[in-house]
Amino acid sequence: MIDIKFLRENPEVVKENIRKKFQDSKLPLVDEVIALDAESRQVQQEADDLRASRNRISKEIGALMKEGKKEEAEAKKAEVAANAKRLQELEEKEPALQEEILKRMMVIPNIIDPSVPIGKDDTENVERERFGEPVVPDFEIPYHSEIMESLHGLDLDSARRVAGNGFYYLMGDIARLHSAVISYARDFMIDRGFTYCVPPFMIRSNVVTGVMSFAEMDAMMYKIEGEDLYLIGTSERSMIGKFIDQIIPESELPKTLTSYSPCFRKEKGAHGIEERGVYRIHQFEKQEMIVVCKPEESPMWFDKLWKNTVDLFRSMDIPVRTLECCSGDLADLKVKSVDVEAWSPRQKKYFEVGSCSNLGDAQARRLKIRVEKDDKTKYLAHTLNNTVVAPPRMLIAFLENNLQADGSVKIPKVLQPYMGGKTEIRP
């Protein structure tokens, strides 16, 4: 959510930003907000004037009564009574106007960074850099679910009977590999100075609307029936929510946290969820990283965050690339975003395994996350998030890039301590 003062003073900048995101249907919202804001300030000013007048007249009534001027005092009382009716009308109108303004402000997209490429959708995202040499072996690589099943590591049929499509059982060494990757990612981030955290796996609606757009919320979140609680789709939401309504001393910045959690997603409108496999699923586990920092430091942290993911995957010899999201592919709260994609030797192309985002002060504005300087002045923090690793999707890249011709899967040295010293998984 952008600053209403900025919108008020720069309506054409906000409109141009909406056009860059190819959301022209939202253009009328800018003028609507400006009109409602002007009305709201007018109502507030009139109400303030009436309150001041009431206080002044009350003092005058007291003085007149002391002087015995009862008739004049009664006339003043009648004036106060007349003003009270109007004041009540204004006081009822103030929150209604603020609600209408907020409703529109919540769907006006954040101002994107000038470096963001302009494009309509994810087909116009821009490759930035490749890390590691993509390799296609001279033997056929099966579909990832077939690799897992050959290692007795995946049971989709039982999962369908228990929970339906989009769920899975991981078994044996594949389940152990899944946990090994999560544990390695945790220690990897701790070694880079991040504080480890296990957050709540459910959050209230005010946190949900504070960290994501309504469109994302509807497409992703599972609501707990009868309670004001949602299952998290990523721990970034509860991690940023940790600072709701907080004033953070500037000396304590940056806040750098890495978190583990299960994640739950509707995947509403997703294609291919009935197919065998674990690429797009309703439940998975994830290691995440978030940063709360000074505004001037967020570009630096953005680059640090996506490089952490690249370094993690390269430490396991998985080739990756970075893909910058174009304007039309950015969620409304995001200022800038880069996807990390891993190489798939079976498909002979890259696919997404992580996403790094700078949200500027949008989440901080909604959640009221403020920073206090030594002189007691306050400003809004900037927030960022990035995926460290999200198996089982990451396992797809791992298995395809480490599969051997005999059907075994080699385990890189960095993971061997987490796998009980094993160097390979065999059928």
Could you tell me where the DSSP H helices lie in 291-421?
Answer: 298-314, 362-367, 393-402
Q: Averaged in consecutive runs of 10 residues, what is the pLDDT profile of the chain (427 residues)?
A: 94 98 97 96 89 77 72 71 81 92 94 97 96 95 94 94 93 97 98 97 94 77 94 94 97 98 80 63 94 98 98 97 97 96 96 96 96 97 96 92 96 97 94
Whether omega for the bond prior to residue 392 falls within 30 degrees of 0, making it cis, is: yes
- Kindly tell me the sign of the dihedral angle through the C-alpha atoms of 273, 278, 279, 285: positive
Please report where in the chains the tokens 């996506």 appear, as a residue: 306
DSSP 3-state of 113: coil
pTM recorded for the entire structure = 0.89
As a whole number of Å, the end-to-end CA separation of the chain is 52
Confidence (pLDDT) at 273: 45
Sheet strand arrangement including 202-203: 202-203, 230-231, 222-223
What is the rounded distance in angstroms from the CA atom of residue 16 to the CA atom of residue 27?
9
Confidence (pLDDT) at 56: 78
Beta bridge partners of 409: 403, 425
What is the rounded distance in angstroms from the CA atom of residue 425 to the CA atom of residue 427?
7
**pLDDT tens string 282-313:** 999 999 999 999 999 999 999 999 999 999 99
Confidence (pLDDT) at 218: 74
**Domains of the chain (ranges, CATH numbers):** 4-105 (1.10.287.40), 122-425 (3.30.930.10)
What is the rounded distance in angstroms from the CA atom of residue 340 to the CA atom of residue 324?
9
